[in-house]
Amino acid sequence: MKGALDGFRWAVLYLGLTSTVMPSLYGFENEEFAAQAVAACWRWVEQGDVSGKELLDLYHAEDDSGVDTIMYNERNDCAQNAWGCVGVSVAYTAYCAYMTENGVLPELLELANSRELFDAFLRCFQKAGGDQSLLDLLGSRLMGMHEDHLRRRWIDPLAMELLKQNSGEVFISGYEK
């Protein structure tokens, strides 16, 4: 499926899939930061009022408070992989924002539109309890959606509904620490 969606829809796909593994972070330190980072990405998608620099700072902060540092320091495997999904979502959205703003990418984001990043997301998504078929289902739905519907209020419930239809139950994994 890589290549079938435009960059904007890839950001929406990553964010929608990430919403299905966010419950893996419930009860863990920094869960609120994960929610804030994902919300900032959605603000860029919906309103464009978050800069690429702001998103990059959420991903990699000089004071070691960014998503990448939290992910690498997480000891719970499921939570670490959920953080990996958050990280790819933030990095890819930052990439899209920079490309929209001026097309000049910071070195840290040079691989954000690569097959390697997609593969890393897929590995983290699957290890956090996600399923390739959900990626395929949501991706195919996004291809046919009007851009006005590529909003969090539509995508998060759609991702959860597709998850329920696909698995028969709501995914909440990694809850125990």
Give me the pLDDT at residue 4, please. Answer: 66
Residue 44 lies in a domain: yes
Residue 172 lies in a domain: no
Tally of structural domains, the chain = 1
Residue 103 lies in a domain: yes
Locate 145 and state its tokens: 């959606």
Q: Tell me, yes or no, if the pTM score tops 0.85.
A: yes
Residue 1 lies in a domain: no
- For residue 6, how far is the Cα from the chain centroid? 16
Residue 130 lies in a domain: yes
Residue for token digits 């953080």? 83
Question: Residue-wise pLDDT tens for the chain (177 aa)?
Answer: 444 678 889 999 999 999 999 999 999 999 999 999 999 999 999 999 999 999 999 999 888 889 999 999 999 999 999 999 999 999 999 999 999 998 889 999 999 999 999 999 999 999 998 888 999 999 999 998 999 999 999 999 999 999 888 775 444 433 232
Residue 63 lies in a domain: yes
Residue 176 lies in a domain: no
Task: Classify each residue of 59-91 as buried b or exposed e, where b means 16 or more C-beta atoms within 10 Å of its C-beta.
Answer: bbeeeeebbbbbbeebeeebbbbbbbbbbbbbb
Helical ranges in the chain per DSSP H: 7-21, 31-47, 52-59, 67-73, 77-101, 115-127, 132-144, 152-167
State the residue range of the domain holding 127: 7-167
Residue 55 lies in a domain: yes
